[in-house]
Structure 1
């Protein structure tokens, strides 16, 4: 049976993912605590808890892949412009200014990856608000782009 209390619990579970801005991995910890304590009492809370956890894991994986793609490219680009003589003789690192001609397709790919990671974070923020509003009204919510780890 779905009651207003369970709607509120599901909504709070979605909103608890915002704890990531205060605590590392709060977006996993708090929803899991709420879900595991309430999943036996309500099928609706169980279903929405799985949605929250699946979405948070999916976004985490997408962002890790994007960032791990971009970081080595940026490091290689910067290291190509470091004068190692100044590192070993003057104890300072001097990086030449990177010219437009130095930006290759792979650097553009890395920039796109970083922009996508930022947009994904913004997408997560707005989808979480939408999910909280929908579940507070008792409506089922399914996150887009979510990998179904928990079924």
Structure 2
């Protein structure tokens, strides 16, 4: 027998903020900046209000960062341009999760520049 009961999503800006900040695990452990937010998003998108939008933005940003890093490697041979782009990507990948964690704590939607849309 099918139920028409729908669970209400809870508001949890702290969990969304932690999801954004978990991207910084890459700087601490060398990995985890994609895996941990992916797990949080996948398990909580049905339970937490706004988690789906934030999670998609995080996953798209992390996948974009990986693509940009891979594309920067051949550019190292072109006047060291790839080294400059890797530095800029590293700075962007460090600052934007912090900025969007602050936005999330205020209930605002995230915005990640140069983010390609893989998950919509």
In structure 2, what is the Cα distance between the partners aligned to 1:149 and 1:67? Answer: 22
Deviation, structure 1 residue 42: 2.6
Q: Over aligned residues, Cα RMSD in angstroms?
A: 1.5
Looking at structure 1, the residues matched to 29 and 56 of structure 2 have their Cα atoms a distance apart, in angstroms, of 21
- Offset at 1:23? 2.9
Structure with higher helix content: 1
Report what 1:63 is aligned to. 69
- Work out whether 1:136 is the aligned partner of 2:105: yes
CA contact (8 A) 2:54 2:110 kept: yes
User: Normalized against structure 2, the TM-score is what?
Assistant: 0.85
Per-residue deviation, 1:128: 1.0
- After TM superposition, give the deviation of residue 142 of structure 1 in Å: 1.8
Q: Rg: which structure is higher?
A: 1
1:36-47 matches, within 5 Å, as: 36-47=42-53
2:21 maps to 1:15: yes
The answer for unaligned runs of 5 or more in structure 1 is: 74-105
Q: Given that residues 75 and 81 in structure 2 are in contact (C-alpha distance below 8 angstroms), is that contact kept between their aligned partners in structure 1?
A: no
Between the two proteins, the alignment pairs up a number of residues equal to 112
d(CA) in 2 for partners of 1:69, 1:33: 33
Q: TM-score, normalised by structure 1?
A: 0.69
Describe the SS at the equivalent of 1:142. coil
Deviations along 1:45-96, one digit per CA (max 9) or x if unpaired, are: 11100100100100110011101332xx3xxxxxxxxxxxxxxxxxxxxxxx
